[in-house]
Chains A and B, each alone.
Chain A
Amino acid sequence: MVPATYYIALSVTLFSIGAIGFLIRRNLIVMFMSIELMLNAANLAFVVFARQQLAVDGQVIVFFVMTVAAAEVAVGLAIIIALFRHRQTLNADEVRMLRW
């Protein structure tokens, strides 16, 4: 039987990969996909703890996380499309009019 800590270690690894991907990639779509990786890492942690406690609440939270992720992806991609129409670029470094 695999100890639960191994699953949590996998979740932390996935989260770190998503965080590193978000920081080093400049393409907005790939940054968005890294965010989805982080959300999935959190989902895995929730499911593991739900199994650990034999309580279904963790899986209900995963249900909500998926719903929020779907809403966020819809709005985020709409923003990206609108941005691309105006600036013709998807590079996060080139979209800097509001930066200091």
Chain B
Amino acid sequence: MTLLTFIPLAALIVGFALGVILNRHPIRSALCLAVTLFLLAVMFVFLDAHLVAALQIIVYAGAILVLFLFVIMLLNLEADIPQKRRRSMSIAAVAGGVVFAGAVLRPILWAGDTLPGPGWSESAPASFGTAESIGARLFTHFVLPFEVTSVLLLVAVLGAVVLAKKKLG
């Protein structure tokens, strides 16, 4: 992936992410998040993570985001009224976030290409990031977290049903 494709893609991702947090209507934030997730899936394809990119679209943009949209439409949310928050708190939050980002970014951007591993100099083998390779890893080395995750999903489904149902009578 060349810099010529990376910079516009990254700029779009950051732009739509800002759209998520800055929009007045929650529905517009949700749609900006959808675009961000799709663009991140594009980024994943460029990084040879093919199964993860497909899962990003199917699970994240296609299930989690749809859940958000359903809840927004169910609760019939309208545009946020600009809150009478204390200005100092918003400024402090933004300043803190920018300082954090700068503090983490500065050594990263000045590090050069010194991360360990073979890196981009080798092109990935054709089987990297496919369903077979991830499945092979998932069901041998990561089988215990996999089973625990299935229990987690069961508990989450039960919890969501119990919490959201209307009391009868």
Chain A interface residues (CB < 8 Å from chain B): 1-10, 12-21, 23-27, 29-30, 32-34, 36-37, 40, 43-44, 47-57, 59-60, 62-64, 66-75, 77-82, 84-85, 90-91, 93
Contacts and interface: CB of A to CB of B under 8 A. Distances in A.
Contacts of A33: 20-21, 29-30, 33, 68
A89 to B, nearest CB: 10
Interface in B94-141: 94, 96-98, 100-101, 104-105, 108-109, 111-113, 115-120, 122, 124-125, 128-129, 133-134, 137-138, 141
Interface in B145-169: 145, 149, 152-153, 155-157, 159-164, 166
A51 B44 CA distance: 10
B97 A78 contact: no
A1 B1 CA distance: 6
Contact of A93 (B10, B83, B108): B83
Contacts of A66: 55-56, 59-60
Interface residues of B, number: 90
Given A17-B18, A29-B72, A64 B149 contact: yes
Given A4-B119, A56-B133, A81-B71, A12 B104 contact: yes
Given A5-B115, A63-B138, A90-B75, 14 more contacts: A5-B109, A9-B105, A10-B13, A24-B21, A36-B64, A54-B124, A56-B128, A64-B149, A66-B56, A71-B156, A75-B159, A78-B159, A79-B163, A82-B163
10 tightest A-B CB contacts, nearest first: A21-B21, A71-B156, A23-B93, A20-B97, A16-B101, A53-B117, A78-B163, A78-B164, A78-B160, A74-B160
Interface of B: 1-3, 6, 10, 13-14, 17-18, 20-23, 26, 29-30, 33, 36-37, 40, 43-44, 47-49, 51-52, 55-56, 59-60, 63-64, 67-68, 71-72, 74-75, 77, 80, 83, 85, 89-90, 93-94, 96-98, 100-101, 104-105, 108-109, 111-113, 115-120, 122, 124-125, 128-129, 133-134, 137-138, 141-142, 145, 149, 152-153, 155-157, 159-164, 166
